[in-house]
Protein backbone atom coordinates (compact mmCIF):
# COMPACT_ATOMS: atom_id res chain seq x y z
CA UNK A 1 0.00 0.00 0.00
CA UNK A 2 1.43 3.38 -0.97
CA UNK A 3 1.85 6.11 1.61
CA UNK A 4 3.11 9.70 1.27
CA UNK A 5 6.81 10.21 2.08
CA UNK A 6 7.48 13.76 0.99
CA UNK A 7 6.16 16.05 -1.68
CA UNK A 8 7.74 14.34 -4.72
CA UNK A 9 8.16 10.77 -3.42
CA UNK A 10 5.81 7.98 -2.39
CA UNK A 11 6.63 4.72 -0.66
CA UNK A 12 5.24 1.44 -1.91
CA UNK A 13 5.36 -1.35 0.69
CA UNK A 14 5.59 -4.82 -0.81
CA UNK A 15 5.26 -8.00 1.25
CA UNK A 16 6.75 -11.19 -0.15
CA UNK A 17 4.17 -13.98 -0.32
CA UNK A 18 4.59 -17.71 0.05
CA UNK A 19 6.87 -19.77 -2.17
CA UNK A 20 8.61 -16.69 -3.64
CA UNK A 21 10.93 -16.68 -6.67
CA UNK A 22 14.58 -17.10 -5.81
CA UNK A 23 15.65 -13.48 -6.48
CA UNK A 24 14.50 -10.00 -5.52
CA UNK A 25 13.63 -8.57 -8.93
CA UNK A 26 11.45 -11.55 -9.88
CA UNK A 27 9.75 -11.56 -6.48
CA UNK A 28 8.94 -7.85 -6.70
CA UNK A 29 7.51 -8.25 -10.20
CA UNK A 30 5.17 -10.90 -8.81
CA UNK A 31 4.15 -8.99 -5.68
CA UNK A 32 3.89 -5.37 -6.86
CA UNK A 33 0.23 -4.38 -7.40
CA UNK A 34 -0.80 -4.08 -11.05
CA UNK A 35 -1.98 -0.50 -10.54
CA UNK A 36 1.61 0.51 -9.69
CA UNK A 37 2.56 -0.26 -13.33
CA UNK A 38 6.15 -1.22 -12.49
CA UNK A 39 7.85 -3.36 -15.13
CA UNK A 40 10.76 -5.63 -14.32
CA UNK A 41 13.14 -3.26 -16.13
CA UNK A 42 11.86 -0.32 -14.06
CA UNK A 43 12.22 -2.33 -10.87
CA UNK A 44 15.78 -3.31 -11.85
CA UNK A 45 16.59 0.37 -12.27
CA UNK A 46 15.05 1.24 -8.89
CA UNK A 47 17.04 -1.54 -7.23
CA UNK A 48 20.27 -0.28 -8.80
CA UNK A 49 19.50 3.27 -7.61
CA UNK A 50 19.07 2.09 -4.02
CA UNK A 51 15.35 2.90 -4.02
CA UNK A 52 14.43 -0.57 -2.70
CA UNK A 53 15.08 -1.11 1.01
CA UNK A 54 14.69 -3.88 3.58
CA UNK A 55 14.58 -2.75 7.24
CA UNK A 56 15.91 0.64 6.12
CA UNK A 57 18.90 -0.83 4.27
CA UNK A 58 19.10 -0.33 0.46
CA UNK A 59 19.21 -3.61 -1.48
CA UNK A 60 21.06 -2.98 -4.74
CA UNK A 61 21.59 -6.54 -5.99
CA UNK A 62 18.59 -7.81 -8.02
CA UNK A 63 19.72 -11.39 -7.37
CA UNK A 64 19.35 -11.03 -3.60
CA UNK A 65 17.52 -14.04 -2.16
CA UNK A 66 14.13 -13.25 -0.62
CA UNK A 67 11.92 -15.00 1.92
CA UNK A 68 8.22 -15.17 2.66
CA UNK A 69 7.01 -12.37 4.92
CA UNK A 70 9.79 -9.87 4.17
CA UNK A 71 8.62 -6.29 3.66
CA UNK A 72 10.42 -4.22 1.06
CA UNK A 73 9.97 -0.46 0.67
CA UNK A 74 10.12 0.99 -2.84
CA UNK A 75 10.68 4.74 -3.14
CA UNK A 76 8.91 6.13 -6.20
CA UNK A 77 9.75 9.66 -7.28
CA UNK A 78 7.76 11.80 -9.65
CA UNK A 79 8.50 11.23 -13.30
CA UNK A 80 11.47 13.31 -14.40
CA UNK A 81 11.53 15.44 -17.53
CA UNK A 82 13.04 13.86 -20.65
CA UNK A 83 16.11 15.69 -21.93
CA UNK A 84 14.58 16.03 -25.40
CA UNK A 85 13.22 19.26 -26.80
CA UNK A 86 9.43 19.50 -27.29
CA UNK A 87 8.81 20.92 -30.76
CA UNK A 88 5.65 22.36 -32.28
CA UNK A 89 5.58 20.04 -35.29
CA UNK A 90 2.20 19.37 -36.95
CA UNK A 91 1.14 15.73 -36.62
CA UNK A 92 -2.02 13.91 -37.69
CA UNK A 93 -3.83 12.62 -34.60
CA UNK A 94 -6.21 9.77 -35.41
CA UNK A 95 -7.26 9.09 -31.79
CA UNK A 96 -6.25 10.25 -28.32
CA UNK A 97 -7.29 9.69 -24.71
CA UNK A 98 -5.58 9.73 -21.31
CA UNK A 99 -3.83 6.38 -21.94
CA UNK A 100 -2.62 6.48 -25.53
CA UNK A 101 -2.46 8.32 -28.80
CA UNK A 102 -2.69 6.99 -32.38
CA UNK A 103 -0.76 8.97 -34.98
CA UNK A 104 -0.70 8.85 -38.78
CA UNK A 105 3.03 9.41 -39.35
CA UNK A 106 4.02 11.26 -42.52
CA UNK A 107 6.81 10.22 -44.87
CA UNK A 108 10.20 11.59 -43.84
CA UNK A 109 9.61 11.74 -40.07
CA UNK A 110 11.88 9.73 -37.78
CA UNK A 111 10.02 8.17 -34.84
CA UNK A 112 12.65 8.44 -32.10
CA UNK A 113 15.65 10.77 -31.63
CA UNK A 114 18.94 9.16 -32.60
CA UNK A 115 22.39 10.26 -33.80
CA UNK A 116 21.85 12.42 -36.86
CA UNK A 117 18.14 12.95 -36.05
CA UNK A 118 17.92 14.58 -32.62
CA UNK A 119 15.22 17.04 -33.71
CA UNK A 120 12.08 16.96 -35.80
CA UNK A 121 11.12 13.46 -34.68
CA UNK A 122 7.73 12.11 -33.68
CA UNK A 123 8.88 12.05 -30.04
CA UNK A 124 9.76 15.77 -30.22
CA UNK A 125 6.30 16.46 -31.64
CA UNK A 126 4.49 14.33 -29.05
CA UNK A 127 6.34 15.95 -26.14
CA UNK A 128 4.92 19.28 -27.32
CA UNK A 129 1.46 18.03 -28.22
CA UNK A 130 0.86 15.90 -25.11
CA UNK A 131 2.61 18.29 -22.69
CA UNK A 132 1.32 17.62 -19.16
CA UNK A 133 -0.82 14.64 -20.18
CA UNK A 134 2.25 12.35 -20.06
CA UNK A 135 2.19 10.73 -16.61
CA UNK A 136 5.53 9.02 -17.07
CA UNK A 137 6.84 5.89 -18.77
CA UNK A 138 9.68 4.11 -17.00
CA UNK A 139 9.97 6.99 -14.54
CA UNK A 140 10.44 9.56 -17.30
CA UNK A 141 7.90 11.94 -18.80
CA UNK A 142 8.04 10.64 -22.33
CA UNK A 143 5.79 8.95 -24.86
CA UNK A 144 5.97 5.16 -24.72
CA UNK A 145 7.11 3.97 -28.13
CA UNK A 146 6.02 0.33 -28.44
CA UNK A 147 6.64 -0.06 -32.18
CA UNK A 148 8.21 1.96 -34.96
CA UNK A 149 7.97 2.41 -38.69
CA UNK A 150 10.84 3.55 -40.88
CA UNK A 151 11.46 7.20 -41.64
CA UNK A 152 10.31 6.81 -45.25
CA UNK A 153 7.31 4.62 -44.43
CA UNK A 154 4.02 6.38 -43.75
CA UNK A 155 1.10 5.33 -41.59
CA UNK A 156 -0.28 4.37 -38.21
CA UNK A 157 1.50 4.17 -34.88
CA UNK A 158 0.09 3.76 -31.36
CA UNK A 159 2.03 5.46 -28.56
CA UNK A 160 1.47 5.02 -24.82
CA UNK A 161 1.05 8.01 -22.51
CA UNK A 162 1.24 6.06 -19.23
CA UNK A 163 3.36 3.25 -17.82
CA UNK A 164 0.34 0.97 -17.54
CA UNK A 165 -0.64 1.51 -21.18
CA UNK A 166 2.95 1.01 -22.26
CA UNK A 167 3.18 -2.38 -20.50
CA UNK A 168 -0.20 -3.54 -21.81
CA UNK A 169 0.50 -2.54 -25.42
CA UNK A 170 4.02 -3.98 -25.32
CA UNK A 171 2.55 -7.29 -24.11
CA UNK A 172 0.14 -7.35 -27.06
CA UNK A 173 2.98 -6.77 -29.51
CA UNK A 174 4.94 -9.52 -27.77
CA UNK A 175 2.13 -12.09 -28.07
CA UNK A 176 1.35 -11.00 -31.67
CA UNK A 177 -2.27 -10.04 -30.91
CA UNK A 178 -1.86 -6.58 -32.47
CA UNK A 179 -2.99 -6.53 -36.11
CA UNK A 180 -0.90 -4.49 -38.54
CA UNK A 181 -1.62 -4.42 -42.24
CA UNK A 182 0.55 -2.58 -44.74
CA UNK A 183 0.07 -1.66 -48.38
CA UNK A 184 3.09 -1.86 -50.65
CA UNK A 185 3.89 -1.55 -54.34
CA UNK A 186 6.36 -4.26 -55.36
CA UNK A 187 8.25 -5.39 -58.43
CA UNK A 188 6.38 -8.18 -60.20
CA UNK A 189 3.44 -9.99 -58.63
CA UNK A 190 3.89 -12.89 -56.17
CA UNK A 191 2.11 -15.93 -57.56
CA UNK A 192 1.71 -19.37 -55.97
CA UNK A 193 2.07 -20.92 -59.42
CA UNK A 194 5.55 -19.45 -59.83
CA UNK A 195 8.03 -22.37 -59.54
CA UNK A 196 10.82 -19.96 -58.63
CA UNK A 197 8.83 -18.69 -55.64
CA UNK A 198 7.91 -22.24 -54.61
CA UNK A 199 11.57 -23.17 -54.51
CA UNK A 200 12.61 -20.49 -51.99
CA UNK A 201 13.34 -21.73 -48.47
CA UNK A 202 10.88 -20.33 -45.93
CA UNK A 203 8.21 -19.48 -48.51
CA UNK A 204 4.91 -21.34 -48.38
CA UNK A 205 1.34 -20.81 -49.54
CA UNK A 206 -2.01 -20.58 -47.76
CA UNK A 207 -5.58 -20.53 -49.02
CA UNK A 208 -6.81 -17.33 -50.62
CA UNK A 209 -3.64 -16.70 -52.61
CA UNK A 210 -1.65 -15.81 -49.49
CA UNK A 211 2.13 -16.13 -49.56
CA UNK A 212 3.75 -16.81 -46.19
CA UNK A 213 7.40 -15.89 -45.67
CA UNK A 214 8.96 -17.30 -42.49
CA UNK A 215 12.68 -16.84 -41.82
CA UNK A 216 15.01 -15.47 -39.17
CA UNK A 217 16.35 -11.92 -39.47
CA UNK A 218 19.56 -10.40 -38.12
CA UNK A 219 21.91 -7.55 -38.90
CA UNK A 220 23.82 -7.94 -42.14
CA UNK A 221 27.41 -9.12 -41.60
CA UNK A 222 29.05 -6.28 -43.52
CA UNK A 223 26.38 -3.53 -43.59
CA UNK A 224 25.10 -2.81 -40.08
CA UNK A 225 22.32 -0.58 -41.42
CA UNK A 226 20.66 -3.53 -43.16
CA UNK A 227 18.92 -6.72 -42.09
CA UNK A 228 19.57 -10.12 -43.63
CA UNK A 229 17.59 -13.35 -43.96
CA UNK A 230 19.06 -16.25 -41.98
CA UNK A 231 17.95 -19.70 -40.86
CA UNK A 232 20.54 -20.85 -38.33
CA UNK A 233 20.16 -17.93 -35.93
CA UNK A 234 18.61 -14.48 -35.63
CA UNK A 235 15.07 -13.48 -34.68
CA UNK A 236 12.04 -15.34 -36.03
CA UNK A 237 10.02 -13.27 -38.52
CA UNK A 238 6.77 -14.07 -40.34
CA UNK A 239 5.14 -11.96 -43.07
CA UNK A 240 2.02 -12.80 -45.06
CA UNK A 241 1.36 -11.25 -48.47
CA UNK A 242 -1.65 -11.07 -50.77
CA UNK A 243 -1.79 -9.45 -54.21
CA UNK A 244 -4.60 -6.89 -54.46
CA UNK A 245 -3.92 -5.66 -57.98
CA UNK A 246 -1.23 -6.21 -60.62
CA UNK A 247 -0.04 -3.76 -63.27
CA UNK A 248 1.51 -4.05 -66.72
CA UNK A 249 1.65 -6.67 -69.40
CA UNK A 250 3.46 -8.77 -68.44
CA UNK A 251 3.11 -8.04 -64.73
CA UNK A 252 5.65 -5.35 -63.93
CA UNK A 253 4.41 -4.37 -60.48
CA UNK A 254 1.68 -5.10 -57.98
CA UNK A 255 -0.17 -3.54 -55.09
CA UNK A 256 0.07 -6.01 -52.22
CA UNK A 257 -1.25 -6.23 -48.70
CA UNK A 258 1.27 -7.40 -46.10
CA UNK A 259 0.53 -8.27 -42.51
CA UNK A 260 2.96 -9.01 -39.74
CA UNK A 261 2.93 -11.89 -37.30
CA UNK A 262 6.16 -10.47 -35.89
CA UNK A 263 7.56 -6.95 -36.09
CA UNK A 264 11.27 -6.96 -36.87
CA UNK A 265 13.34 -4.09 -38.24
CA UNK A 266 12.72 -3.64 -41.99
CA UNK A 267 10.79 -6.93 -41.97
CA UNK A 268 8.49 -6.36 -44.95
CA UNK A 269 11.24 -4.78 -47.02
CA UNK A 270 13.68 -7.63 -46.35
CA UNK A 271 11.13 -10.41 -46.85
CA UNK A 272 9.76 -9.00 -50.10
CA UNK A 273 13.28 -8.57 -51.47
CA UNK A 274 14.16 -12.13 -50.39
CA UNK A 275 11.10 -13.44 -52.24
CA UNK A 276 12.16 -11.61 -55.39
CA UNK A 277 9.55 -8.86 -55.14
CA UNK A 278 11.33 -5.87 -53.62
CA UNK A 279 9.42 -2.67 -52.97
CA UNK A 280 9.52 0.09 -55.56
CA UNK A 281 11.75 2.92 -54.39
CA UNK A 282 13.66 0.75 -51.91
CA UNK A 283 17.30 1.45 -52.77
CA UNK A 284 18.51 -0.46 -49.69
CA UNK A 285 16.89 -3.80 -50.51
CA UNK A 286 15.74 -3.39 -54.11
CA UNK A 287 19.13 -3.35 -55.77
CA UNK A 288 19.08 -2.05 -59.31
CA UNK A 289 15.77 -3.62 -60.28
CA UNK A 290 13.61 -1.42 -62.50
CA UNK A 291 10.07 -1.44 -63.87
CA UNK A 292 10.35 -2.25 -67.58
CA UNK A 293 9.07 0.30 -70.07
CA UNK A 294 7.94 -2.53 -72.34
CA UNK A 295 5.33 -3.46 -69.71
CA UNK A 296 3.91 -0.07 -68.74
CA UNK A 297 5.23 2.44 -71.26
CA UNK A 298 8.09 4.93 -70.88
CA UNK A 299 6.37 7.72 -68.90
CA UNK A 300 4.99 5.38 -66.22
CA UNK A 301 8.22 3.38 -66.03
CA UNK A 302 10.16 6.59 -65.53
CA UNK A 303 7.82 7.67 -62.73
CA UNK A 304 7.92 4.27 -61.02
CA UNK A 305 11.70 4.03 -61.20
CA UNK A 306 12.12 7.54 -59.82
CA UNK A 307 9.82 6.95 -56.82
CA UNK A 308 11.82 8.58 -54.01
CA UNK A 309 11.13 6.21 -51.12
CA UNK A 310 10.08 2.63 -50.38
CA UNK A 311 6.43 2.36 -51.47
CA UNK A 312 5.14 1.19 -48.09
CA UNK A 313 2.25 2.44 -45.94
CA UNK A 314 1.03 1.22 -42.53
CA UNK A 315 -2.64 1.20 -43.50
CA UNK A 316 -4.41 -0.41 -40.54
CA UNK A 317 -3.78 -1.03 -36.85
CA UNK A 318 -5.84 -2.96 -34.30
CA UNK A 319 -5.33 -3.65 -30.59
CA UNK A 320 -7.11 -4.01 -27.25
CA UNK A 321 -7.36 -0.75 -25.31
CA UNK A 322 -5.28 -1.14 -22.11
CA UNK A 323 -7.96 0.40 -19.87
CA UNK A 324 -11.36 -0.23 -21.48
CA UNK A 325 -10.36 -3.68 -22.84
CA UNK A 326 -12.32 -2.87 -26.00
CA UNK A 327 -10.99 -3.77 -29.43
CA UNK A 328 -9.88 -0.68 -31.35
CA UNK A 329 -9.31 -0.58 -35.10
CA UNK A 330 -7.89 2.28 -37.17
CA UNK A 331 -7.44 2.81 -40.90
CA UNK A 332 -5.26 5.25 -42.81
CA UNK A 333 -5.76 6.18 -46.48
CA UNK A 334 -2.85 5.97 -48.87
CA UNK A 335 -0.64 9.07 -48.92
CA UNK A 336 -0.82 11.14 -52.09
CA UNK A 337 2.50 9.96 -53.53
CA UNK A 338 1.62 6.26 -53.34
CA UNK A 339 -1.93 6.90 -54.53
CA UNK A 340 -0.59 8.77 -57.58
CA UNK A 341 1.92 6.00 -58.31
CA UNK A 342 -0.78 3.33 -58.20
CA UNK A 343 -3.11 5.36 -60.40
CA UNK A 344 -0.40 5.80 -63.04
CA UNK A 345 0.42 2.09 -62.97
CA UNK A 346 -3.26 1.22 -63.17
CA UNK A 347 -3.74 3.37 -66.28
CA UNK A 348 -0.47 2.38 -67.93
CA UNK A 349 -0.32 0.87 -71.40
CA UNK A 350 2.58 -1.06 -72.88
CA UNK A 351 3.96 0.43 -76.10
CA UNK A 352 2.48 -0.96 -79.32
CA UNK A 353 4.58 -3.54 -81.11
CA UNK A 354 5.79 -2.48 -84.54
Q: Answer yes or no: are the C-beta atoms of 195 and 276 closer than 8 Å.
A: no
Q: Which of 25, 150, 163, 282 is catalytic?
A: 150
**How far apart are alpha carbons 2 and 10 in whole angstroms?**
7
**Residue 51 region by backbone torsions, left for phi larger than 0, else alpha for psi between -120 and 50, else beta:** alpha
pLDDT tens digits, the chain, 354 residues: what are they? 333 333 355 678 889 988 888 899 888 988 887 666 677 777 888 888 888 888 888 888 989 999 988 989 888 765 444 456 888 999 999 999 999 999 999 999 998 777 677 788 898 898 888 876 665 544 444 577 888 899 999 999 999 888 788 888 988 988 889 999 999 999 999 998 899 999 999 999 999 999 999 999 998 888 878 899 999 888 899 999 999 999 998 889 999 999 999 888 899 999 999 999 999 999 999 988 999 999 999 999 999 999 999 999 999 999 999 999 999 999 999 999 999 999 999 998 887 765
Cβ burial 26-41 (10 Å sphere, 16+ → b, else e): bbbbebbeeebbbbee
Question: What backbone phi and psi angles, to 5 degrees, belong to 102?
Answer: -110, 125
**How far apart are alpha carbons 295 and 19 in whole angstroms?**
69
Verdict on whether the full-model pTM lies above 0.95: no
Annotated active-site residue 8? The verdict is no
- DSSP element (H, E) containing 268: helix 267-274
Q: Who contacts 48 (Cβ-Cβ below 8 Å, separation ≥6)?
A: 60, 62
Burial (CB count within 10 angstroms: exposed 0-12, middle 13-18, buried 19+), residue 144: buried
Question: What backbone phi and psi angles, to 5 degrees, belong to 231?
Answer: -130, -25
- Interior angle at CA 133, CA 11 and CA 32, nearest 5: 30
**How far apart are alpha carbons 39 and 137 in whole angstroms?**
10
The two beta strands, 100-105 and 57-58, are: unpaired
**How far apart are alpha carbons 174 and 112 in whole angstroms?**
20
Amino acid sequence: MAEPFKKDVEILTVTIGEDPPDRLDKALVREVPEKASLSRSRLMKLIAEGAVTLDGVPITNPKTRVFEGQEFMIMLGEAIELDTLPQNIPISIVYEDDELIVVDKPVGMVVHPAPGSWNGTLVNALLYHCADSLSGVGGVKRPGIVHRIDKDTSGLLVVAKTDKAHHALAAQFEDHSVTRHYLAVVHGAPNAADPRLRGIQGVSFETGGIVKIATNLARHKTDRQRQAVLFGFGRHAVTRVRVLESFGAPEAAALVECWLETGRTHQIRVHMSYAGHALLGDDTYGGRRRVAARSVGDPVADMANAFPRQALHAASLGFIHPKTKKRMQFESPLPTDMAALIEELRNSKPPKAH
